[in-house]
């Protein structure tokens, strides 16, 4: 299901209850302490918001074998990867009811250095690399009867034809640090071929052919609104 669509998002905060602006595109939803900040998503786990996430509700009927790509760039700004955080979280409809419910199970895909998934280089952008099809044991399938260190191939077997309801990237290990905080930036999220970066438009051509609908913050009313934004930002930066 490689759609090869690039979605560009602007700076600001996306509310938890969003409706898609592009019918064929996934819509990122921000939860907890997650905010869009300076062209990336900042995921904070602290005493106020122990859990932060970027969440994508998947199309009806999609299964784990349908997920063709999964990757992100991440930057640990406070303090480290630890306790299984950051991670991708794949929600599987284990009770086959077609909705998010208590009967669902998760497959986790851990980021950071293998096999401890800790010891990330601080303040450095790192690519997860493609996580679909890898032989490395980054998959945690224990909720489905597998193991903590498992492969993508075995995750496919255990998930089978059960629906993949949601894909999230999660930060939630503030409890593991003396300052009570874990902060990680994420960008260039690739979810089944849709690549999300989080910058506002810088060229009016990005607004054309429906491109204005791809920006969620700021949200544009139409193409002209998007073009006006680009023009006003250019003037603010000293461009003619």
93, 160 Cβ separation under 8 angstroms: no
pLDDT given for residue 38 in this prediction = 84
Residues of the chain with pLDDT under 70: 1-25, 214, 216-217, 234-240
pLDDT given for residue 41 in this prediction = 94
pLDDT given for residue 118 in this prediction = 97
CA atoms of 187 and 73, how far apart (whole Å) = 5
pLDDT given for residue 18 in this prediction = 38
- pTM for the model: 0.83
pLDDT given for residue 78 in this prediction = 97
Per-residue pLDDT tens for 54-64?
Answer: 999 999 999 99
**How far does the chain reach from its first CA to its final CA, in angstroms?**
42
pLDDT given for residue 233 in this prediction = 80
pLDDT given for residue 157 in this prediction = 98
CA atoms of 218 and 102, how far apart (whole Å) = 35
pLDDT given for residue 234 in this prediction = 61
């Amino acid at each position: 299901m490689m759609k090869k669509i690039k979605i560009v998002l602007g700076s600001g905060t996306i509310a938890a209850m969003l409706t898609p602006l592009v019918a064929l595109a996934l819509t990122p939803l921000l939860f907890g302490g997650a905010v869009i900040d300076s062209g990336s998503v900042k995921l904070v786990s602290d005493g106020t918001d122990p859990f932060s996430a970027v969440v994508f509700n998947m199309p009806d009927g999609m299964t784990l074998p349908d997920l063709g790509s999964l990757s992100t760039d991440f930057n640990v700004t406070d303090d480290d990867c630890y306790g299984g955080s950051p991670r991708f979280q794949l929600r599987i409809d284990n009770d086959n009811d077609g909705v998010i419910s208590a009967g669902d199970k998760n497959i986790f895909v851990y980021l950071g250095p293998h096999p401890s998934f800790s010891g990330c280089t601080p303040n450095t952008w790192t690519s997860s690399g493609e996580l679909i099809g890898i032989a490395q044991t980054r998959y945690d399938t224990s909720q489905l009867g597998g193991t903590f260190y498992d492969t993508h191939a075995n995750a496919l077997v255990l998930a089978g034809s059960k629906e993949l309801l949601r894909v999230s990237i999660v930060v939630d290990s503030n409890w593991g640090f003396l300052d009570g905080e874990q902060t990680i930036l994420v960008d260039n999220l690739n979810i089944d071929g849709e690549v999300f970066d989080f910058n506002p438009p810088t060229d009016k051509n990005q607004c054309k052919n429906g491109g204005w609908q791809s920006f969620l913050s700021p949200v544009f009313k139409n193409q002209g609104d998007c073009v006006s934004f680009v023009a006003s930002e250019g003037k603010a930066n000293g461009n003619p």
